[in-house]
Amino acid sequence: MSISRDDIEKVALLARIRVNDQQVAELEQDLSNILDLVDQLQAADTTNTAPMAHPLDAVQRLRADEVTETNQREAYQAIAPATEAGLYLVPKVID
């Protein structure tokens, strides 16, 4: 796939980037090379390849899911302005 000079000038205008004629010619060649590489990558057969979340086959060590804190709800709610049925009561802020 190639990119035209008009495409480069249009994108430069939209991006508010000033490019001169020499830069347009260089960009045209560079972007065409990049798009050719993308075409090559898209042509690769990936039908028997399983999707991967990460390129390294690493396993993360996780800590045990254990409760380490004691339940202090009663102590915290004792100093709260208003509670009911184990919940904090707050003023209504939306009508």
**Tell me: the pLDDT tens digits for 2-32?**
788 999 999 999 999 999 989 998 999 999 9
* All structural domains of the chain with their residue ranges: 5-42
Q: Is the Cβ–Cβ distance between 82 and 88 less than 8 Å?
A: yes
What is the pTM for the complete model shown? 0.49
The topology (CATH level 3) of 5-42 is Histone, subunit A (1.10.20)
Per-residue pLDDT at 3: 87
List, for residues 32-64, the tens digit of each pLDDT value. Answer: 999 999 999 999 998 988 888 778 877 888 989
**What is the rounded average pLDDT of the residues 86-90?**
94
With a cut of 80, say whether residue 95 has pLDDT above it: no
Three-state SS string across 11-24, please? HHHHCCCCCCHHHH
